[in-house]
Amino acid sequence: MKEKLSAVFIIILFCSFTAFNILSTNRKTVLNVITPVMLEIDLNNNHTVDDGETVCLPRTKSYTSNLVEYKDEIKGLPFQKGLAVGYLADEFTHKLLDGKEVKIKETGNFLPQCKIAEIYLDNRKYSDILKESGFGIANGKPANELKFKEILAKAENLKLVIYNHKSGKYHKPECKYGRIAHDAVVLSVRDLPESSSPCKFCHITKTKSGKKHKTEKFSVPPPNIITNGSIKIILTDFTKILKPDKNCNHTACREFVSLIDNSNASIDIALYGWTDIPKVRTSLENAMKRGVNIRVIYDTKTTSGNYYPDTEIFVKRFAQRRSDKIEGNNTLTNSLMHNKFAIFDNQKVFTGSMNFSHTGFSGFNQNSIIIVNSKAAAEIYTKEFNQMFGGKFHTLKEKTPNEILTLIDGSRIIIGFSPQDKVINEKLVPLVNSAKHSIYMPAFLITHKPLTNALITAHHRGVDVKIILDATSTTTRHSTMYLLRQSGIPVKVENFAGKMHSKVVIIDDKYVVTGSTNFSNSGENKNDENMIIIENPKIAKFYSDFFKYLWKKIPDKYLKFNPPAESKYSIGSCSDGIDNDYDGKIDSADSGCSQREN
């Protein structure tokens, strides 16, 4: 009898596990809301929107403020009022579905732009939720008339404009120039970037003298470079440069070339990837001709042509080169040599978050570059370089002495390297835990759980925590963005063509933590990275002011919603010649940029 009961129990467990597994694998993540009835869903679980992953609800219509999908004939409302209702409908859907897991039941039917499928949220039909909310339309009118009256009352108080990302102009909803713009979105007036300006045809007022004038909005950027004796920091402003180039006109590139040209004995370069920049390449070639000893370390994966196809050709110029490939150990080889630093004459260190690429050197991506003029700092970086050049990459490396360097200008710095030094847990988290006033983070991504918990704890004890993340990180596996937002921390997602590529924390206007280390498990425990902690109030205040400038440039709308990295919502992304969301499509070839038929 006991044997039969045991067998039954095992069968029940097996069935339960199988059912759970089926349910789990059937769950898909909503990556983007186009309209309340048209969603981009990660059907193949690769965290990227691919062909065939746009899903439309069957037999369901809705209001929307998406100007491409807006259809007057199904609204039954004047354009301006219909747009306001659509804006609220889009907000409702974003809040309900952005980043959420849903179940999909395909109908087998298709439209030119999407496949038709039922969507289930917590075992409820999303189409039913939409209709009950008052935003769904049935038989040409609101499915829930009572809720719709409440929505109309709320819509009356909205102050909306049509904002053209390309021109930076904003229009009144009734303005014909707003509706015909190809790169336009509907925004609340309070969400307009400070650099925006009114359309001169629809935002004209008269002075008492009867002369017409228009009111401009200005946003003066703070300085993006500071020199404090032993340390120079350069910050790139991706709100100003919407297309990368290889001309080496940006300060970041000119500074790098100057360091090369003024080197007399040695240059050691640790690079994740390389894009050919003629002036940089020529400077390095000239340095070799005058007898400068150049050594290069690079990541194995970047030579495969995926992201940095120029790397392999570039490194062949140097007799002394070494990739991070570990023969017979694929696990270690698959970790990244993610550093981006160079050491000049064993005296100056050029480091930070910037890859040695055209998107980095041109200022297209938002990066932090640090130049440290210190023999002691250069020695620490050289020891790390020598470990890797000798074949010790990743977990094979030895720990770095945890010493504080006091520089000539009075700055105190601590340098650490991943993965041996556990830089996030042992250096950054304690600083976050000690924060008293403010923590500002311009970061590519955050997935590191202990750091996330420390940030939440700091917020709960009254510290002003603000975070800006890159648009591509919102769908990153293990992203803690939603957890941070749910905990009450303001998290903005940037809406510019370039990447928010910094890996920075500014604490109490006293400390700046920067380097190549992404705030992730891989950045902490697998990849070769460097992190530098600078204790200097002047430098920290400089970076804090720059963060606040970026914060104001990003509309408050993106505290709640996530602009797709390659779409009309990300300024310049549809005309920059870059695959911003890594889906293999560029500009108009990407579904986020292409215009749909009305």
CA-CA distance, 479 to 143, in Å (whole number)? 36
Q: Of the ranges 21-35, 267-281, 377-391, 501-515, which one carries the lowest mean pLDDT score?
A: 21-35
Angle of helix 126-133 relative to helix 79-97, nearest 10 degrees? Answer: 140
In the block, which residue shows the tokens 């129990």?
9
Write down the mean pLDDT value for the chain. 88
Residue 388 phi, psi (nearest 5): -70, -40
Per residue in 103-119, pLDDT tens?
A: 999 999 998 888 999 99
Per residue in 137-165, pLDDT tens?
A: 888 888 899 999 999 999 988 999 988 87
**Residue 427 bears catalytic tag:** no
Contact of 154 with 147, CB cutoff 8 Å: no
CA-CA distance, 1 to 257, in Å (whole number)? 82
* Beta carbons within 10 angstroms of residue 181's beta carbon: 20
- The pLDDT score that the predictor gives to residue 219 is 52
- Greater pLDDT, 154 or 203: 154
- The pLDDT score that the predictor gives to residue 345 is 98
List residues bridging with 269 in a β-sheet: 296, 342
Indicate the pTM of the whole model. Answer: 0.85
- pLDDT higher than threshold 90 for residue 70: no
- The pLDDT score that the predictor gives to residue 8 is 52
Instruction: Please give the helix or strand (H or E) that residue 227 lies within, else none.
Output: strand 225-227
Label residue 22 by pLDDT band (50, 70, 90). very low
Angle of helix 145-156 relative to helix 79-97, nearest 10 degrees? Answer: 110
Label residue 555 by pLDDT band (50, 70, 90). confident
Q: Of the residues 94, 165, 501, 526, which is catalytic?
A: 501
Contact of 385 with 270, CB cutoff 8 Å: yes
Instruction: Rank 100-114, 440-454, 564-578 by mean pLDDT and report only the highest.
Output: 440-454
Label residue 218 by pLDDT band (50, 70, 90). very low
- Greater pLDDT, 234 or 598: 234
Contact of 346 with 386, CB cutoff 8 Å: no
List residues bridging with 530 in a β-sheet: 417
Q: Of the ranges 488-492, 520-524, 585-589, which one carries the lowest mean pLDDT score?
A: 585-589
What is the token pair recorded at 368?
């932090």
Q: Of the residues 61, 131, 492, 503, which is catalytic?
A: 503
> Mean pLDDT across the stretch 70-76?
60
- The pLDDT score that the predictor gives to residue 120 is 95
CA-CA-CA-CA torsion for 575, 563, 133, 77, nearest 10 degrees?
A: -30
CA-CA distance, 292 to 294, in Å (whole number)? 6
Label residue 451 by pLDDT band (50, 70, 90). very high
Domains of the chain: 2-156 (2.40.50.90), 225-559 (3.30.870.10)
- pLDDT higher than threshold 80 for residue 231: yes
In angstroms, the Cα distances linking 67 to 79, 111, 116, 180 are 11, 19, 22, 9
Where residue 141 falls (left for φ over 0; alpha for ψ -120 to 50; beta otherwise) is beta
Residue 558 phi, psi (nearest 5): -90, 15
Label residue 259 by pLDDT band (50, 70, 90). very high
Q: Of the ranges 137-141, 387-391, 427-431, 478-482, which one carries the lowest mean pLDDT score?
A: 137-141
What is the token pair recorded at 327?
């023969």
Q: Of the residues 276, 508, 545, 579, which is catalytic?
A: 508
Q: Is residue 231 helix, strand or coil? A: strand
What is the sign, positive or negative, of the torsion defined by CA atoms of 167, 169, 175, 179?
positive
- The pLDDT score that the predictor gives to residue 304 is 54
CA-CA distance, 202 to 210, in Å (whole number)? 17
- pLDDT higher than threshold 60 for residue 19: no
- The pLDDT score that the predictor gives to residue 291 is 97
Q: Is residue 145 helix, strand or coil? A: helix
Per residue in 362-418, pLDDT tens?
A: 999 999 999 999 999 999 999 999 999 999 999 999 998 878 999 998 999 999 999
Q: Of the ranges 164-168, 503-507, 547-551, which one carries the lowest mean pLDDT score?
A: 164-168
Peptide bond into 419 cis (omega under 30): yes
Per residue in 575-590, pLDDT tens?
A: 899 999 888 889 988 8
**Residue 501 bears catalytic tag:** yes
Listed in sequence order, the residues at least 6 apart from 184 whose beta carbon sits closer than 8 Å to its beta carbon are 67, 162, 163, 164, 165, 171, 178, 568
